[in-house]
Structure 1
């Protein structure tokens, strides 16, 4: 960790390995927020702890998929203490975040059919802690839309690499004007709208890595993946998985 009054946080990565950690450190990142798809919270926490050290803090988080596959709304929840299933109603997911006092961030706002729309963010602005204003995976006009939403609603922004590939880690980050040395400290910074700046790398390499990441969306939205996730019913974060003991049966959309 920095031990200073500034902390560079890559606010959303999907992968974690020795290679990812080494790249984050080379790029001056102090904190990684690790939120892999369709992985239960206890496993995320164990993996985050295993890769954290004095130089780099890995904070566990969940990108919760609310709604059905065709109209899903993603929420990035940081500070959860109990598991939350995917493919539950938006209201149920928000209620869980509030009950567990987790910070709520909006990733890739108004992007395709996987994000909260401008109108939805406005309707729930008092329950949202920040909106993504720079995502290294997105195209420039998509990033500008997030920036306009945050400005219009006077919500704090955040930046992330949204890395699904190791080479993208540390391409964008949020520079907090405070020392963040724990998950609780990050939650507090988000919930209190701590001063920050959204920053990113530049140049041809940055643009190329972003385009490679964007192309990865083809796999992320493939029918093969949908079929595996939704039809089996025993996937780790499926709301009717036995591990949840029926907690989400009433709010499941599948």
Structure 2
């Protein structure tokens, strides 16, 4: 809860690691496409839940919000308040990944402001350094939010390194949303040892690529993002909360 990659190898690794479900939320992909791909890779042994990690704010200072259970698309590059209000309107589960991490994390102050509609905050992420995970746990304790953990896998090998446990199996997207909104997370679990530390370093190194060449590729070579609020797919519905 959650991953950025999804294919046959990811599904096979998730099953080998004993996972029951994956939340799939790739960057800059519209919800209908995410949902189609999630359905394609779901089966009786592994539920793949579609979700959106919404980039709120500008490229220079963006804050990520993970929304699970959306019925309608939400673009990136909208205000944090506008994005959370739209998630709340759709009765989605609103989760905060990597709080206060670099320039992409929601702050403790933001969580307090929007506390009534934020359901969980991430306390363990392989891309974090140890101090980031400690800070995330302190934020959860200070705001009295439930914790969740995520492999945040941009690389296939990180699947199953971190997971969030519930008291009972989850069979549908609606069940996951209901349990998150009700505060039914049991515990956050992660692997340990040299292999796990190697995976963490690889994911952190990938972050450097993603924020250098990966960003240039998207901003300069690709043109307008598919999830930009000005894209024709949104028909101007989010002009009032767009930051561009």
What TM-score comes out, normalization by structure 1 length? 0.92
Instruction: Tell me, yes or no, if the aligned pair for 1:14 and 1:164 is still in contact at 8 Å.
Output: yes
Partner in structure 2 of residue 73 of structure 1: 63
- Whether 2:190 is the aligned partner of 1:200: answer yes
Q: Give runs of aligned pairs for residues 53-132 of structure 1, distance below 5 A.
A: 53-132=43-122
Equivalent position SS for 2:60: helix
Instruction: Tell me, yes or no, if the aligned pair for 2:148 and 2:185 is still in contact at 8 Å.
Output: no
Partner in structure 2 of residue 6 of structure 1: none
Q: Which runs of 5+ in 1 are unaligned?
A: 1-10
Cα deviation code 1:13-33 (max 9, x no counterpart): 000010101111111111100
- Whether 2:221 is the aligned partner of 1:221: answer no
- Specify whether residues 100 and 226 from structure 1 end up closer, same or farther in structure 2 by C-alpha distance, changes over 3 A only: farther
Instruction: Tell me, yes or no, if the aligned pair for 1:158 and 1:174 is still in contact at 8 Å.
Output: yes
From 103, 107, 131, the equivalent of 1:141 is 131
Instruction: Tell me, yes or no, if the aligned pair for 1:233 and 1:240 is still in contact at 8 Å.
Output: no
Equivalent position SS for 1:132: strand
* CA apart distance, 1:227: 6.5
From 199, 211, 214, the equivalent of 2:201 is 211
Instruction: Tell me, yes or no, if the aligned pair for 1:230 and 1:238 is still in contact at 8 Å.
Output: no
What TM-score comes out, normalization by structure 2 length? 0.96
> What is the aligned residue count?
244
Q: Distance in 2 between matches of 1:185 and 1:95?
A: 22
Cα deviation code 1:4-55 (max 9, x no counterpart): xxxxxxx110000101011111111111000000000000000000000111
Q: Distance in 2 between matches of 1:235 and 1:210?
A: 28
- Specify whether residues 245 and 230 from structure 1 end up closer, same or farther in structure 2 by C-alpha distance, changes over 3 A only: farther
